[in-house]
Amino acid sequence: MNGAEEHLYAVIMAGGAATGLWPLSRRKSPGQFLPVRDDRSMFSVTLERIEQCIPKERIFVVTSSEGAELVSFLEPGFHSGNVLVEPQSRGTAPCAAFAAAVLRKRDPHAVICLLPVDHHVEDDALYARTLLHAADIAVAHACLVSIGICPDYPETRYGYMQVGQEAGLSCSRQTEGKLYTVKTIAGKPDRSTADTFIQSGDFFWNSGIFVATMDTLCSELRSSESELYRDMLYMSDAVDTPGARNVIEDVYSWLHPASLDEGLLARSTSAVMLEGLFGWRDLCCWDDIALTDGGEDDWLSGRKPQGVVEIDSRRNLVKTPPGKTVSLVGVTDLIVIDTGDALLVCRRGDSAGVCAAVDVIRREGREESL
């Protein structure tokens, strides 16, 4: 075990509302803690994946109060002191600052992997090796390391990174993925722009995975998000004191939403991108869930739940409450999610619009459905 591994920590960022997975995902039961794909939650799958390279005692999760209860229920052996509860979600940059505030107090030499909870990974072993490679780079060269995914189609729901030349930074560990300098980042594009990104050959999907030493993360916060950096120090001073919770709630009351992409990566002078070849997809909507369960021509084959009858129908994703019968006749490429008190029906390819539907439900005051 080298120096990077001895101080390597994982922070699972699990504080979002997972609105794209409504109606299964609700305020009191966010989708990342529910068996969305099969009988295991995204959180439990992510935790098991990370344990291949980081021991459980050095894995932290940042989540909501509802999420904290679900962590305890799903993983009874998970140390409660490693569950960091946000008063409210403010995006990935405040989430990272909160985690840094705690880890700075407990291990000033920490190397931090910031990992979204809602990822599908095909090769867990290569994923683990890639994180260790990124950690070695972060330690050896004081870099902010992001993980990029070579795109195989023009996705409009992911952010992108444009890379420059190969970075040429050496370290003790290597994987098959190449290391590049980062030229710029781009938000979610329209279809025409996404086509241009793919054709250029120098744009990668931004996975949202970041690895950095504590010193580098603090330096990036100080130079790019100076107010958030001061808030991080304020929270860190209070960690493990009787007044810690009050300080954290005070800080979150004035924090503005911010992302690591825009807040740190876009402004960083030390950022590099390590190519992730482990097979990746962001599970942010029902189309993503379906595509990780079946192929393009055999969508969800063999995964039809009990109680679903299909006549002259194919490639449909159906989730229903136990004991309910649903019949599909002459339809293709539908998504049907029934939770008993709410029902979603949309075409395959359109489930990204669920968030807009949730916004309408909220404006109409139907909070019981959220």
Report the sign of the C-alpha dihedral through residues 160, 164, 170, 176, in that order: positive
Closest to 263 (Cα-Cα) out of 96, 62, 25? 96
Same domain, yes or no: 163 and 300:
no
Which of 284, 306, 335 is a domain's end point? 284
Same domain, yes or no: 338 and 362:
yes
Same domain, yes or no: 162 and 211:
yes
Which of 236, 253, 284 is a domain's end point? 284
Same domain, yes or no: 93 and 223:
yes
Same domain, yes or no: 265 and 325:
no
Same domain, yes or no: 135 and 245:
yes
Same domain, yes or no: 268 and 311:
no
Which of 284, 304, 334 is a domain's end point? 284
Radius of gyration (C-alpha) of the chain in whole angstroms = 21
| Number of domains composing the chain | 2
Q: Concatenate the DSSP letters of all residues of 270-311 into one string.
A: SEEEEEP-S-EEE--SHHHHHHTTS-SSSTTTT-PPTTEEEE
Same domain, yes or no: 315 and 227:
no
The pTM (predicted TM-score) of the whole model is 0.91
Same domain, yes or no: 278 and 364:
no
For residue 300, the model assigns a pLDDT of 44
CA gap 273, 346 in Å, rounded = 36
Q: What is the mean pLDDT of each run of 10 residues along the chain (370 residues)?
A: 79 90 91 80 93 95 94 91 94 94 94 95 94 93 94 90 82 76 91 93 94 95 93 94 94 92 88 94 88 51 70 88 90 92 92 92 90
Backbone angles phi, psi at 366, to 5 degrees: -90, 65
Same domain, yes or no: 87 and 104:
yes
For residue 166, the model assigns a pLDDT of 83
Q: Is residue 207 classed as helix, strand or coil in its secondary structure?
A: strand
Same domain, yes or no: 211 and 342:
no
Angle, alpha carbons 151-155-158 (nearest 5°): 90
Question: In this predicted model, what pLDDT tens digit does every residue of 128-172 receive, in sequence order?
Answer: 999 999 999 999 999 999 999 999 899 888 999 999 888 777 666
Q: Is 201 left (phi over 0), alpha (psi -120 to 50) or beta?
A: left
CA gap 163, 186 in Å, rounded = 11
Question: In this predicted model, what pLDDT tens digit does every residue of 228-274 receive, in sequence order?
Answer: 999 999 999 999 999 999 999 999 999 999 999 888 888 888 899 99
For residue 81, the model assigns a pLDDT of 92
Same domain, yes or no: 125 and 188:
yes
Domain that holds residue 119: 3-284
Helix and strand tally (H, E) in the chain?
Answer: 12, 16
Closest to 100 (Cα-Cα) out of 256, 221, 2, 276? 221
At 179, list the tokens: 């290391």
Q: Is residue 129 classed as helix, strand or coil in its secondary structure?
A: helix
Peptide bond into 23 cis (omega under 30): yes
For residue 38, the model assigns a pLDDT of 66
CATH number at residue 269: 3.90.550.10
Rounded to 10 deg, the angle between the 92-106 and 226-238 helix axes is 40
